A and B are shown apart, each in its own frame.
Chain A
Amino acid sequence: MNSEQQRTGVDQESAAGSIVVCPDGPLIVRGEFEIVTPSGDAVPRERQTVALCRCGASAIKPYCDGTHKMIKFRTEPPAG
């Protein structure tokens, strides 16, 4: 590890992938990964970076289709 990696404890350069947790939205997954069914079959995937549904309302699960906006999906508890 170089000094930067020692400081953060994360080897960013060689991380195989990353998951961006989008507020009120999907999980954006980048990098090297496979999406498979429970029995291990590949889920059809058309692009390098994908958005995975986490509101449960997408019509194209496991992918996001933007429906979270229509149902006002919130990832944070209401303030107060």
Chain B
Amino acid sequence: MKIPETRGSISSALFAALAKDPETAGAELDGLYQLAAGHLAGTGDIIGDEDIQLSLFCLYELHYSGLDGVSDGWEWEPDLIRVRRLIEEPFEAALRAAARQAAGNFELPAGVAMTSDAVADVLFGLAATETGPSVSRYVAKKASVDQLKEFLIHKSVYQLKEADPHTWAIPRLTGRAKAALVEIQADEYGGGRPERMHSALFARTMRGLGLDDSYGAYLDAVPAVSLASVNLMSLCGLNRRLRGAIAGHLAIYEMTSSQPNRFYGNGFRRHGFAADITHYFDEHVEADAVHEQIAGRDLAGGLVEAEPSLLADVLFGATAVMAIDSRLSAHLMSSWEAGETSLRAAAPAAA
């Protein structure tokens, strides 16, 4: 991925360090750590912090496709992992606080071991409580072509590597939960046909609207909360202790997908875009109606049956994605209803 524009002192210091070899960047890394520690002590809203979310996104990217011109040796550099963990700790705390709020007065049945069916029930129940502003209805009925492009740009940060963060969890699971995740992921990755990978279908939709489909092309355009939604997945995917959370995340993600994707497709059809461009959305209407059953019952439910102590984290992952999604939706809707762009000012024009 192309290294993005900096968004403050931490991302500047990070990119300055990454420009060197890991062996010769000791001073830069110390400086970066001190800078990040000082900044974190003073930030009131880490989820909306542009500098922090961009830095964390780039730190995680070293584990995915890497950063252009940056040595692969950085991936497991202890002093850089130390910086990542420094950021991850308050980020996770903020996510847990937001997740608790999203859960509202939802209470678990106390003192009983939950069956996989009961876990699926709880997750479907949570997904049904989602009451945030409806981006999908706006896209279906009102969004202009420029707003459709903005919508794709926000999504592109994740959808061009769709499914990758959850794949980290496969070797951390066993038995029924593992088989379930592999079954879902095989479908996400096109069942052996690269042109049918969901990320490839999304790229086709982007090209259909004249957008650049190279990974990270619009990173500079998306605000912190869009990056935070992907950082949440990377945090839960890359930390084995959070395997319950990544399972819960995927379950809610699938459970809140089929109907919105139908609306998204309708929005693109309304502007005359053809079936090859709406295919990405149409595919998700059908695929996610399968995946939500498997993710709720076999993945999340199977995991809780095997490891009952992970129930709380399953619910954390589930409610965290609801909290972040509703914050992103609120940002999109307030921008569009005010007739403004939802992208960052410094962004390359969407049109």
**A interface list, Cβ under 8 A from B:** 20, 22-26, 28, 46-51, 59-60, 63-67, 69-70
Contacts and interface: CB of A to CB of B under 8 A. Distances in A.
Interface string B247-261: 000000000001100
A12 B262 CA distance: 37
List 3 tightest A-B contacts by C-beta distance, closest first.
A66-B258, A64-B289, A51-B290
Q: Per DSSP, are chain B's interface residues mostly helix, strand or loop, or mixed? A: helix
Given A24-B124, A51-B286, 5 more contacts: A20-B293, A26-B293, A49-B187, A60-B286, A69-B124
30 contacts: A20-B293, A23-B120, A24-B124, A26-B293, A28-B290, A46-B196, A46-B283, A47-B187, A47-B191, A47-B286, A47-B287, A47-B290, A48-B186, A49-B183, A49-B187, A49-B290, A51-B286, A59-B262, A60-B286, A63-B286, A63-B289, A64-B286, A64-B289, A64-B290, A65-B262, A65-B286, A66-B258, A66-B288, A66-B292, A70-B259
B327 interface: no
Contacts of B187: 47-49
Nearest to B285: A65
Nearest to B287: A47
A27 to B, nearest CB: 10
A23 B293 CA distance: 10
Contacts of B289: 26, 51, 63-66
Interface in B276-313: 283, 285-290, 292-294, 297
Nearest to A69: B128
A48 B287 CA distance: 11
B117 interface: yes
B194 to A, nearest CB: 15
Nearest to A64: B289
B259 A66 contact: yes
- Which interface class (under 10, 10 to 19, 20 to 34, 35 or more) fits B? 20 to 34
Interface in B139-198: 183, 186-187, 191, 196
Given A23-B117, A65-B258, A69-B128, A50 B290 contact: yes
Contacts of A64: 286, 289-290
Nearest to B297: A22
B294 A28 contact: yes
A76 to B, nearest CB: 12
Contact of B191 (A23, A24, A48): A48
B251 to A, nearest CB: 14
Contact of B293 (A51, A59, A63, A67): A51
B245 to A, nearest CB: 23
Given A47-B187, A48-B191, A60-B286, A28 B293 contact: yes
B65 to A, nearest CB: 27
Contacts of A48: 186-187, 191
Contacts of A23: 117, 120-121
B293 A46 contact: no
A65 B290 CA distance: 8
Which of B186, B191, B262, B289 has its CB near the most chain A CB atoms (within 10 A)?
B289
A42 B259 CA distance: 26
Contacts of B288: 66
Given A47-B187, A49-B183, A49-B187, A25 B293 contact: yes
Contact of B285 (A20, A24, A47, A60): A60
A5 B287 CA distance: 34
Contacts of A51: 286, 289-290, 293
Contacts of B258: 65-66
A14 to B, nearest CB: 18
Contacts of A47: 187, 191, 286-287, 290
Contacts of B196: 46
Contacts of A49: 183, 187, 290, 294
B189 to A, nearest CB: 12
Contacts of B124: 24, 69
